Amino acid sequence: MESNNIPIVKMRNITKRFGAKVLANDKVWLDIYPGEILSILGENGSGKTTLMNMLSGIYFPDEGTIEVNGQPVVIRSPKDAFALGIGMVHQHFKLVDVLTAAENIVLGLEEPFDIAASSAKIRDICSRYGFDVNPDQKIYDMSVSQKQTVEIVKVLYRNANILILDEPTAVLTPQETDKLFAVLRNMRSDGKAIVIITHKLHEVEEISDRVAILRKGQFVGDMLTKDTTPGEMTNMMVGHAVKLNIERPDPVNSKPRLEVKDLSVRSPDGILKLDHVSFTLNSGEILGIAGISGCGQKELLEAIAGLQKAESGSIQYVEDDGSLDELLGKDPLEIRQKGVALSFVPEDRLGMGLVANMDLADNMMLRSFRRGHSFLTDRKAPHDLAEHVVHDLEVVTPGISTPVRRLSGGNVQKVLVGREIASAPSILLTAYAVRGLDVNSSYVIYDLLNKQKQNGVGVLYVGEDLDVLLELCDRILVLCGGKVSGIVDGRKAEKMQIGRMMTSLGGEA
Amino acid sequence: MKSKEPVFHIVKRDDLPLYKVIGIRLIAILLALAVCSLVTILVTKLNPLDVFRAVIKGAFGSTRKTWVTMQNTSVLLLIALAVTPAFKMRFWNVGGEGQVLIGAWAAAACMINLTGKVPEWFLIVAMSVTSIFCGAVWAAIPAFFKAKWNTNDTLFTLMMNYIATQLVACFAIVWENPKGSGTIGIINNATEFGWIHIGNKYLLPILVALVMTIVTYIYLNYTKHGYEIAVVGESERTARYIGIKVDRVMIRTLLLSGGVCGLVGLILVAGVNHTLTTTLAGGRGFTAVMVSWMSHFNPFTMILTSFLLVFLNRGASEIATSFSLNTSFSDILTGIIIFFIIGCEFFIRYSISFRSSARAKEG
């Protein structure tokens, strides 16, 4: 049904540069067919989103042509794109929190404002494709998956027949993903062209009819999904063969390292983010934390690191001789000075762990600049440490004095992890350590974490990819709405079981 | 359809080599002079070369004029140095004006109330301590409120200016001399008691500014404090994460920033003007903000920038007098020059690439 069709969109020789050095898209060719789900597969930074942003009017290509329905077109703004029937659902939703779903959907449309008529049309769209949206519900009352649905309906409301979704499953549970895929299949049968941007192979296999692969801004090839294998796709995506298994050495000599008891944390606006969370982190193990995003993962790590005030409960560090040391109520500096080696790799690498405009050496200094009594800073030690990290972790950088914002995501992460590990921690907290990293860099990070684990470090690994959590972690703690839904054995647990535990306490339906 | 394509787009540049940066700035200044000439010819029918000559004469026409230019440069430079640590921390201290004024007020208070009661060395120490202290407190109040309740730094520091101005206006009546004049007049005019002069009467601010330039440069770039300021400025969250006490750094930095402004107030009262008026700072608290930004917070570049602004300003008033033009005309010329100098920053950071040229390259 696909190949003998006429493409609805033809992109030819599309090139986009950012600045003098970054070539985001290099003469890319792409065809999109009606009644087909196309996956655009590629590692982070391969230019998937840039390419689609040019189709949806966010960017304008430096070179190349776009044809829609056989006509050459110029798309200068999202408005032009909508006029051509092209709509995009971005990774970061663009919704006004205090408005209702219907109000968000009609926002910006040049039609008479009649919320009742609009709501009726929204309900009509919903019943046609199987969406579940209440037009009168406020956005702030909605779950992530509901917000995403509003975004999709918003695009359909504008009569889009070419729908682009940027990593739509990144924020969804397995169950929500299934629901989304069902809706996408309905839209396909309706003759719409659907493009999903992703880097997850199993999703490509599950949902798409055809897959187009980008690597470093270049179009590598496209093929029917049923004719390809994960191995082939990975090779095309990365450029060489990679192993797809994560190692998991058995924990050695494990004993309790951190005892968290009845920890409750409230956000500044009074919402209970953690509700009586209790668990034990052992030395020499990787304890995974799973949960829908915003379920208290951030608050948990920040509470342990001393960045977040707790309402009640305790966080006790177990010294080697068995004595307990309360961490709660201490600030990050005191926790460090007490000799409790906590290393925290925050989720927002450049926003929290590193200073983007400073160079590698100055970023190494963040941890050590207080050393010594001199009023002046010691520049030698951090410089040496930076050289070590660059050498040991194979950081690709023009030099020690390059600002970290110039490095790619994987290298930034290596710099951050390298610095944290250099302080010889006994507990390593990581949040989304591989977010935005390509396949190779991800494996380097997994290896680093495993090495720490074998050195007896207790590793707390907050992750979003359940497949990785299940392959890497010894135990997995599942959070659901700030409560501990359960702790499962990483070697035995099932993905669907964890998915259920993420949405309901204990996993009961 | 084709005509709808955008003609050009703007691209962020990587760092340019220094000679190109200087080149762009030189072109900007030449263009500015060209536009100034054009405006001069069109509006006043005067020979622009005569006008430019008058500008130089205004700044360097006599030994006295040269000294005054250097002195004014130093005062502006000092205020710019004072606000820079705050700016580097992304704390928008636009209250330099008020901090200088309150420092000046403290110095004047000491001079007026202590003269004849204490030895001169004691007066000078007391003036120094109180003016630096008052300036520091004036800046630390908004810092404290921001640290505790996250108030808006720009608004708060700005409002503190008005309080300082009104306070000085009030004391101009309290201390008026002679009675009925509504002004304070030259303090200790006859005895010069408590006046601070080194060598000639222009040298004090120049020397202090030179020392402060070096001190500020070292403080910002090589000390632990300077490093903390940079981290807080770049990312408050990172600062918290590594255990920097952000509120403490904020208050400490503003104490310093205000303290140096207070010192400028002392210099103005004890070393330059010997009186206190509401316009003593003369808008330099705001001009200093521009100096600091135009120099990208580099203390040595600030020497050039503040010199340029003072030079233009002095030249402008010379044009006004020697060609009997309205001062507004010299303001127009200054405005044109500053427009080009600031505008050229855009071309240093971005380049404009034309779509047709991109095509041509490809073909």
Query: Tens of pLDDT along B320-334?
Result: 788 877 777 878 888
User: Do residue A212 and residue A259 come from a single domain?
Assistant: no
Over 60: is that where the pLDDT of B339 sits? yes
Position A111 in a domain: yes
Q: What pLDDT is stored for residue A230 in this prediction?
A: 83
On whether residue B311 sits in a domain, the answer given is yes
Which of the listed residues A238, A267, A291 is the one where a domain comes to its end?
A238
Alpha-carbon torsion (A18, A21, A22, A26), positive or negative: positive
CB pairs under 8 A between A and B: 90
ipTM reported for the complex, 2 dp: 0.77
- Same domain for B114 and B151, yes or no, is yes
Same domain, B174 and B304: yes
Nearest to B243 among A18, A336, A377 (CB): A336
- Chain B residues with CB under 8 Å of A369 CB are 224, 227-228
B90 shares contact with chain A (CB less than 8 Å): no
Alpha-carbon distance B83 to nearest alpha carbon in chain A (angstroms): 21
**Are B2 and B114 in a shared domain?**
no
Return the residue of B nearest to A370 by Cα: B224
Range of the domain at A257: 251-341+445-509
Interface test with A, best of B14, B149, B238, B245 (most A CBs within 10 A): B238
A354·B238 Cβ contact <8 A: yes
| Judgement on whether residues B276 and B153 belong to the same structural domain of the protein | yes
Q: Are residues A229 and A263 in the same domain?
A: no
Owning domain of residue B268: 66-322
Strand partners, B231: none
Do A143 and A168 sit in the same domain of this protein? yes
Domain presence at residue B57:
no
Residue A2: the pLDDT is: 43
Domain check: are A15 and A158 in the same one? yes
Same domain assignment for residues A187 and A282: no
Q: In 3-state terms, what secondary structure has residue A149?
A: helix
Is residue B232 assigned to a domain? yes
Which of chain B's residues have a Cβ under 8 Å away from the Cβ of A356?
234-235
Same domain, A60 and A202: yes
| A219: in domain | yes
Instruction: Provide the number of structural domains found in chain B.
Output: 2
Task: Mark yes or no for CB contact A351/B235 under 8 Å.
Answer: yes
**Inside any domain, residue A206:** yes
Above 60 in pLDDT, residue B144? yes
Residues B146 and B10 in one domain: no
Alpha carbon of A500: minimum distance to chain B alpha carbons (Å): 34
Residue A276 lies in a domain: yes
pLDDT of res. B89? 94
Spell out the residues 6+ positions from residue A232 whose beta carbon is closer than 8 angstroms to its own.
Answer: none
In chain A, which residues have their Cβ closer than 8 Å to the Cβ of B359? 63
Residue B2 falls within a domain, yes or no? yes
pLDDT at B268 over 90: yes
B168 with B298, same domain?
yes
Residue A192 to residue A163: CA distance in whole angstroms? 7
Q: Are residues A207 and A330 located together in one domain of the fold? A: no
Residue A177 exposed, middle or buried by CB count within 10 Å (0-12, 13-18, 19+)? buried
Can you give the pLDDT at residue B360? 42
Residues B192 and B277 in one domain: yes
How far is B123 from B105, CA to CA, in rounded Å?
Answer: 14
Number of domains in chain A: 2
Residues B96 and B227 in one domain: yes
In a domain, B59, yes or no: no
A19 lies within 8 A of chain B by CB: yes
A481 and A337 share one domain: yes
Q: Does A200 lie in the same domain as A292?
A: no
Same domain (yes/no): A232, A292: no
The verdict on B346 and B313 lying in the same domain is no
Residue A259 in any domain: the answer is yes
Percent of residues, chain B, with pLDDT higher than 90: 53
Whole-angstrom CA distances from B186 to B14, B128, B175, B275 are 54, 19, 11, 5
Q: How open is the CA angle B273-B276-B280, to the nearest 5 degrees?
A: 70
Question: Is B165 a domain residue?
Answer: yes
Under-70 pLDDT residues of chain A: 1-4, 19-20, 241-244, 339-341, 347-348, 436, 507-509
Q: How far, in Å, CA of A264 to CA of A300, rounded?
A: 9
Domain-embedded: residue A234: yes
Is A268 an interface residue toward B (CB < 8 Å)?
no
Report the pLDDT value the prediction gives residue A508, as an integer from 0 to 100: 62
Q: Which of residues 269-328 of A touch B (CB under 8 A)?
A: 305-307
Mapped onto helix, strand or coil, the DSSP state of residue B44 is: helix
Nearest to A342, CA basis, from A311, A314, A302, A312: A302
- CATH at residue A142: 3.40.50.300
Are residues B40 and B140 both part of a single domain? no
CB neighbour list of residue A390: distance below 8 Å, 6 or more residues apart: A360, A397, A400
What is the C-alpha to C-alpha distance for residues A171 and A181, in angstroms, rounded to an integer? Answer: 14
Most B CBs within 10 Å, among A18, A355, A374, to test the B interface: A355
Say what the pTM is: 0.78
Q: Is the residue at A4 inside a domain? A: no
State whether residue B355 sits within 8 Å of chain A by CB.
yes
Report chain B's mean pLDDT, rounded to a whole number.
Answer: 88
Do residues B232 and B173 both lie within one domain? yes
Q: Is residue B53 part of a domain?
A: no
Q: Distance (Å, rounded) from C-alpha A415 to C-alpha A445?
A: 11
Could you say which residues from 327 to 346 on chain A have a Cβ atom under 8 Å away from some Cβ of chain B? 331-334, 336, 344, 346
Whether residue A149 lies inside any domain: the answer is yes
d(CA B296, CA B306): 13
A353 and B359 within 8 Å at the Cβ level: the answer is no
Q: Residue A17: its pLDDT value, please?
A: 84
Detail the DSSP E strand segments found in chain B.
Answer: 8-12, 350-354
Q: Do B13 and A351 touch (CB under 8 A)?
A: no
User: Is A49 found in the same domain as A151?
Assistant: yes
Note whether A288 and A236 are within 8 A (CB).
Answer: no
Of A175, A210, A238, the one marking the end of a domain is A238
Last residue of one domain, picked from the residues A187, A205, A238: A238
pLDDT value of residue B356: 53
Does residue B45 sit at the A interface (CB-CB below 8 Å)? no
Q: Judge if A201 and A255 occupy the same domain.
A: no
- The per-residue pLDDT for A341 is 66
Question: In a mutagenesis test of the B interface, which of A14, A374, A377, A423 is the best target, namely the one with the most B β-carbons within 10 Å?
Answer: A377
Examine the domain organization and report whether B296 and B333 are in the same domain. Answer: no
Q: Is residue B122 part of a domain?
A: yes
Chain B within 8 Å of A357 (Cβ-Cβ)?
A: yes
